Each structure stands twice: as structure tokens, then as C-alpha cells.
Structure 1
Amino acid sequence: MFSRIVFILFLFLMSLVSCHSSHSPKSKTAAEILGNPNFQAICYGGYRQNTREITPTLEQVKEDLSILSAMNIKIIRTYNVHLPEVEVILKAITALQKEQPEFEMYVMLGAWIDCKNAWTNQPVDHFQESERNEKEIAEAVRLTQLYPDIIKIIAVGNEAMVKWATSYYVQPEVILKWVNHLQALKKSGKLPKELWITSSDNFASWGGGTPDYHTNALNELIKAVDYISVHTYPMHDTHYNPAFWGILEEEQSLSEKQQIEKAMLRARDYAINQVEAVQKYMQSIGVEKTIHIGETGWATSCHHFYGKNGSKATDEYKSAIYYKMITKWCDQNKMSCFYFEAFDESWKDAQHPEGSENHFGLINLQSEAKYALWDMVDKGIFKGLTRDGKPITKTFGGNESELLKNVQLPAKLHQATLTQ
């Protein structure tokens, strides 16, 4: 009799497990989701204010993730694991999975890495690392152990090796040390074996730029990571290296829209060229690894280098063209593109509201979809969804003529030469 009762209890428990699993999305691996067009990626931060001291609430993050999910985005990238927002994001995904069994969202977790005395009044030392790095990595490990079905990638550092990051950059040896540490935790079973480890950095840092980056430590790092996460920003180089930017003399007879599209095509090709430069260097040291774009984007406003008083690159029209061109190319080449970024965030350049860093989002702080997403609004993708109580509407009231008044032609370009 007793054994029969035990057997019945066993069947009952198994039915509960079966019921639970049927209502939970099957967790996929990084290998399955990266490069898969059905799993679009994006960089996400949910801060509404001009400071990160005000963390978005669980409900606010759930709103944001629901909007992104409606856009078919299923992988988001974060930056600083020591800030409370990251755990709010993980809790929000967990809550949405319970509320909506079909909801699916994964995380590329960024661990911030910098050098000794970074962000202090002391002289920075690029050859020693900050004491904080160990805590950042430890927190990344803790969160991954708590949320193994959500966190699929850990990125050691965010533009941490590129030499123009003079406030904080480190040598590749530092990144290699922590990548090896995380890979060892995978081997020991303390982290999931299918977790992917990378570093998310500028194309030059991965060997695609000048020879001074070509070091033994970088070569070892390329061998140690599971894939290479490359950042490329042609928008920035419309000011810093504008060899590709502008209107060719033979294009002057085209309509203004056609002239801009030609210029944006060169900008896209400039980004592709940087990615291919990384691939070429990687192959030159005898390595074959997958490459995905960890960041690229195009701001919609700027008061300085990239706006009407600068390279005339930033507006919603050009941004939409770049977004669609680069995501289409990535999909065709089975490459994930963590587009920068989902929503505008005003803390990035709090002293300058019109600074370009505040305006990379596809949706602004008034819950308005920028031009790149107008077609999604028309299709009803955001129907029933709100951000801070506001429905997702179009910028410029959906009036394309008003939007185009803000669009300026770049200067004449005498020769198009794609260079890094």
C-alpha cells in the first residue's frame, strides 16, 4: 500500500514538472541565438532621468522589454553589472516569463573593466588595472549562476582596450586574464559550459586598425574568447575620418534623397570594412572565430561635431537608413547586431541635452518611435503597449514633410575612399 502511495505521489510530481516545463520557454544557447535573424539584438538601458542614480522600476523595465519583444528583439546587451538596473532587468525577464509563457529574452552581460585610478583625480595608470575589476567580474559570475537560463554571454569590458578611451583603457593582458578566469569557471562547472565569453570592443582593439594594437596578448585573447564582439561607428567618423562621407560630384544631379542614400551606403560599407579588417587580422594569426557586432548606431541629433554645424550626419532620416541597411546586412551574413540603442538616455551627456550620446535610441523619452520604426507603428506592432503610461506614437506627429525639414545634405565629397 505504501509503495503504491509513493508511486502515485511520484506520478503527481512528474505531472507538475511536465506542466511547468510546458509553460516555460526552452532556454537556448548563445550558439543558437547569435547570428539567428529570428533573435534580433539590441543595447538596452532603461534610465529615464539624466542620472543613473534613479534606477528604473521593475514595471518600467517590463514595459520596455515588452516593447522590444514586440519588435522581435530577443537578446539585450547591458554594461555595468554593479549597478542595480541589471538585476532589475533579470527580475523583469523572469516575471514576464511567468506572466507570458511564450515570452523569450536573453542577456549579454557586460562587466565593466578599467585601469588603475580611472575616473579619479589621480593620474591614470594604463598598465595596471582597477581594484574594482575583481568585484565586477565576481558580480557577473553571481548573476549568471542565479540566472543561467537568461544570461548567455559575458563580455569582459566595454571599449576597455581602445586607446582613445584615455580615461580608463587597459592593456589586452587585463582582459585576457579575466576571460581566462571565466573560461576556467566554465571548465570547473561553476558556470554553464555553454555560456559564451567575449570582450566587446572597438574594431581597432581587435586588430582591425593600426599595427600598435597587434600584440601577443591580443593574439592570445582572440584565441581565448568564444567569439569576437566588434564595435563600429561610421557616424563618429563623419567627423574624425570623413574620407567616405559626403556627396560625390557625379551624384549632384540625383534627388536629395538619392544623394543621402548614396552617402549612407558608403557609411554602411565603411562599417563593413572595419568588421572585415578584424576578420582579416584574426585570420592572419591563424584563428577562425565568429564575429558579431557588439555596438553600432547612428544618433538622431547633435549640437556639435555631427549636427548642422558639423558633418551634418545626425537626423532621423539618415539614422533610419543606417539602421535598416546595417541590420539587413547582418541578417544576410548571419551576424548579430547589438544596435545602439533601444531608447534615448539623457544621463550619457547630462550637461548637454543636445549631445549626440543622448540621442542614439530608436524610441525617445517622450515614448515616440523615431523614423526608423514608423512602419512598425503603422503595422500596429506597439498596439496596447505603453512606456510610462504613454502609447508609442511617431515623432513629428508622423508628418514626413516636417521630419525632412531637419535633414541636411553633407558637403561635396571629391573622392570616396574607404579607410579605417
Structure 2
Amino acid sequence: MPSGNAICYSGYREGQSPDSRVYPSVAQIREDLHLLLREWRLLRLYDCSVHAERVLQVIEEDRLPMQVMLGAYLGAEMNNFGCPWGGTYSEEKLEASRLENQAELQRLIELANRYPRIVFSVAVGNEATVDWTDHYVPVPQMIEYVRRVKAGVRQPVTFCENYVPWQHKLRGLVQELDFISLHTYPVWEYKHIHEALDYTKANVHSVASLYPGKPVVITEAGWCTNSNGRGMHAEHAVQELQAIYYQDLMDWTRAEGLLCFVFEAFDEPWKGSADPLEPEKHWGLFTVDRRPKLVMQPLYPELAPPATTESPA
């Protein structure tokens, strides 16, 4: 596994989204990667869409010193009646999703083999087994998918999931994986900044202690900078606290030699509800127009706006 600064990258700008299949252009992705290169060499991608193909293309063409954890997005294969925002589908929809998942896994294998020096690991799915997911895939099926991918690629294979399922339901999956990838979000669990890093440490330890000898990577950890109060205290979702959590997280993971992908490079306005204060939209270290938030302004002073785009607490 490589070491160094790592970040999740979803390059969708205003009017673009994976749902609409309006993807960032090669030129836009090139702009993003050269921007990120100042601080990061490791990227995490969530799927094997046109977006991912273009990212890998730019890294190769520009000979950028970057490597990628390439993910496969898996859609729902089973209804999840516990999902609060809708996890139930017709049988026809589920069958179509199963077929698309098969195609996505094939794309994952093909891209990993096409770019063996760039893709350093592959992730077979993202948050597909947690209780609240709207794209639920049963664990036995996840095991079969991991085995299929492991047979087709040379890179280490993982699955990205919230820390909770690793504690119980994913024990059978762990033995199939080369390493565990977990997500930790103190602000989503109403934690104050003063307890945030200790909470993240506890999340990681709760998983790592169960599987001695199995490497653990943090594939998502971040802090929201705007919120309508859904799922968190709105007063906690500010740039000042993002900057504190980011620095605390980096200091700890570097000292521990723990690979940690910060979530997320850029704000994602396509996510969540239509409410502009929807928390899902506001996790970037940069705004959607590529302006650095407070946490990044010391590293990118020439790009900083005259004033931050979100009001302080």
C-alpha cells in the first residue's frame, strides 16, 4: 500500500451528476488534478463511469505522480425497508440493478488491468451493507463479487463501508479482503469538535481490534461546512470546525502511519435534497467553483475568495 496524503475525488460541477450522466470534461478533470497535485498524490474514485475513465486518462497522459483507489458502484439488489429515504424497488428494477452491477464489476476489472501502475487497489462497492443504505447488497453476494474481482485483478481488493457493519455483519467478508476500508463521521453522529478525533479513533479501534493482522484504511473521514440540521447540529457545520478536524485527523493518521482518504475534495451540489443547505452538498475542502475553504486557504492563497462563501458560526 502506498503512503501519503489521500483524498476522495468526485469532480462533478454545477449541472453535472452521475445520476444525469453529465460528466466533467477532460479539461475540467485536468484542471482539478493539477489543482489537487499540490497537496495529494492518492485519489479515491467511487465508480467506473466515464468520470473515472477520464481521470485515469489524464493521469496517464500528463504523467502525473498520482495513484488511484478505483471503486465499483453497486446498485440495490435487495429492498431495504429500513432506509429512511427510500430503499424499496420493484423486482424489475432490482433485476436491472443486478445486471448493471455485473457490468460495473467487469469495468472495474478492465480498468484496473488497463492502468496497473495507476490503480493501486480496487474497492468492490461502497456503503452497500449498512442498515440505512438505499442500495443494499446482501453480504453473501458481496463475498461472491469480491471473489470474482480478486480472480481478475492483481491489485489488493477491499470494500468501503461505515465502521458499524465491520463490527458484526461483515465478519465473513473480511477474510476475503486484502484490507478493510472504513468510514467515520463524528459530525453525522452529533459529536462536538472537542470529542471528534477521539470518536474517530474509537471507530477505527473498534474494527481493527477485531481483526488483528488485517490492515485498516480510512476511506472516508471529513467535516460538513453547511447544514439545515438534518443528521447533525447545524451550528457544528462550519468551516472553522472543518479546519480543526482536518488538522487533528491528519496529525493523528500521519503519526500512526494510517492511510486516510479525506472526504471530499469539492462540494457536490447534485447530492441529497433540493435544499441548498442539504448537508450532503457541503463536505468539500473546496467549494464547487474550486475556491479553497478556510482549511485550504493557507495552501492555496491565490485562489481564496475575498471572504468565505459560508457564514461563520
- For residues 114 and 54 of structure 2, the distance between their equivalents in structure 1, rounded to whole angstroms, comes to 13
Residue 228 of structure 1 aligns with which residue?
Answer: 180
Question: Does 1:104 find its partner at 2:65?
Answer: yes
Q: Take 1:336 and 1:158, find their aligned partners in 2: how far apart are those partners?
A: 17
Counterpart-to-counterpart distance in 2, 1:124 and 1:40: 42
Judged with a 3 Å threshold, the aligned counterparts in structure 2 of structure 1 residues 311 and 366 are, in CA distance, closer, same or farther, namely closer
206, 220, 224: which one pairs with 2:166?
206
Aligned to 1:148: 116
Match for 1:180 among 131, 135, 147? 147
Match of 1:312, SS state, is: helix
- Residue 273 of structure 1 corresponds to 202
Q: Does 1:163 align with 2:131?
A: yes
The residue number in structure 1 matching 2:83 is none
1:124 deviation in Å? 9.9
* Cα shift at 1:116: 2.4
Q: Distance in 2 between matches of 1:125 and 1:172?
A: 20
The CA distance in 2 between the partners of 1:306 and 1:312, in whole Å, is 12
C-alpha displacement at 1:282, in angstroms? Answer: 2.0
**1:54 Cα deviation (Å)?**
2.1
Q: Which residue among 229, 244, 269 is the counterpart of 1:304?
A: 229
| 1:60-112 Cα distance to aligned partner (Å, 9 max, x none) | 101101111111x111111121x211111111111211xxxxx3011111111
Whether the 8 Å CA contact 2:230–2:278 is kept in 1: the answer is no
Aligned to 2:211: 282
> Is 1:89–2:50 an aligned residue pair?
no
Give how far 1:395 is off: 6.3
Question: Could you tell me how far 1:396 is from its partner in structure 2?
Answer: 1.6
Moved >3 Å (runs of 4+): 117-121, 123-126
Gaps of 5+ in 1: 1-30, 98-102, 186-190, 208-212, 239-244, 246-262, 384-391, 408-420
Contact (CA 8 Å) 2:78, 2:137: kept in 1 or not? Answer: no
Q: Does 1:264 align with 2:193?
A: yes
1:122 to 65, 69, 90: 90
Once the two structures are TM-superposed, the CA of residue 354 in structure 1 deviates from its matched residue by 1.7
* CA distance in structure 2 between the partners assigned to 1:171 and 1:124 by the alignment: 18
Q: Which has the larger radius of gyration?
A: 1
| 1:135 aligned partner, one-letter code | A
Matches of 2:216 and 2:266 in 1, distance apart? Answer: 25
Q: Deviations over 1:298-318 (max 9, x none)?
A: 1100123267xx452100001
Asked whether the 8 Å contact 1:296–1:340 carries over to 2, the reply is yes
| 2:304 aligns with one of 393, 397, 402 | 393
Relative to 1, partners in 2 of residues 1:342 and 1:220: Cα closer, same or farther, differing over 3 Å?
A: same
The answer to whether the 8 A contact 2:14-2:288 is kept is no
SS at match of 1:116: coil
Question: What's 2:84 paired with?
Answer: none
Q: Determine helix, strand or coil for the equivalent of 1:282.
A: coil
Aligned to 1:341: 264
How far apart, CA to CA, are the structure 2 residues paired with 1:130 and 1:355? 30
The one-letter amino acid paired with 1:321 is I
Tell me, yes or no, if structure 1 residue 292 matches structure 2 residue 191.
no
Is the 8 Å Cα contact of residues 306 and 314 (structure 1) preserved in structure 2?
A: no
C-alpha distance in 1, partners of 2:92/2:307? Answer: 45
- Please say if 1:332 is aligned against 2:282: no
Instruction: Give the superposed CA RMSD.
Output: 2.4
Q: Secondary structure at the match of 2:236?
A: coil
Q: What's the CA shift string for 1:177-225, capped at 9, x where partnerless? A: 111122223xxxxx33xx1100000101111xxxxx34xxx33321111
Measured against aligned partners, the alpha-carbon deviations of 1:149-180 in whole angstroms (never above 9, x if no partner) come to 11111101100111111x22122212211111
Q: Does the 8 Å CA contact 1:206/1:278 hold for their aligned counterparts?
A: yes
SS of corresponding position for 1:321: helix
Post-superposition shift, 1:125? 10
TM (norm. structure 2) is 0.89
Shift of the 125–275 alpha-carbon distance from structure 1 to 2, 3 Å rule, reads farther
Aligned-residue sequence identity (percent) comes to 29
User: Contact between 1:362 and 1:372, CA under 8 Å: does it hold in 2?
Assistant: yes
Relative to structure 2, which stretch is displaced further, 332-341 or 113-122?
113-122
In terms of fraction of residues, the more helix-rich structure is: 1
Query: Of 157, 165, 169, which aligns to 1:197?
Result: 157
In structure 2, relative to structure 1, the CA distance for the partners of 1:349 and 1:50 (3 Å cut) is farther
Equivalent position of 1:65 in the other structure: 33
Q: Relative to structure 1, is the Cα distance of residues 58 and 350 closer, same or farther in structure 2, using a 3 angstrom cutoff?
A: farther
CA contact (8 A) 1:369 1:395 kept: no
Native 8 Å contact 1:368 1:395 kept in 2: no
Match of 2:171, SS state, is helix
